[in-house]
Amino acid sequence: MKEKFIKPEGHTCKHSSTIIGTLSIGTGELDQYGFWEHGCYECARAWEKQYPEDGEVWPFSRETLNRWEKEKAERLKVDPINI
């Protein structure tokens, strides 16, 4: 795995792969789907910056969610406000 990941100062978060094919980063218990009990936005954003090739990391940023909503709306040809 990525041993050189530089965590934000003071973070002890761990990462895991999830059933939806993304990474998740956080603390606490890991659930059966690969998501941490307490997702860490700071570490997720730090990972995305350091390893852009890994794509989006859970917990996803608002920006990512907005973009996905728009892409979904494009495919379904609906108004993002109503989904």
Output the six-digit token pair for 74.
């494009």
Phi-psi region of 34 (alpha: psi -120 to 50; beta: other; left: phi over 0): left
> What is the bridge-based pairing of β-strands 57-58 and 23-30?
parallel
The site string for Zn ion over 43-72 (x = CB under 5 A, - otherwise) reads x-----------------------------
Q: Which of positions 6-35 make contact with Zn ion (CB under 5 A)? A: 11, 13
Q: Please select the residue that binds Zn ion; options are 23, 35, 40, 48, rule is CB under 5 A.
A: 40
- Total number of residues that touch Zn ion (CB under 5 A): 4
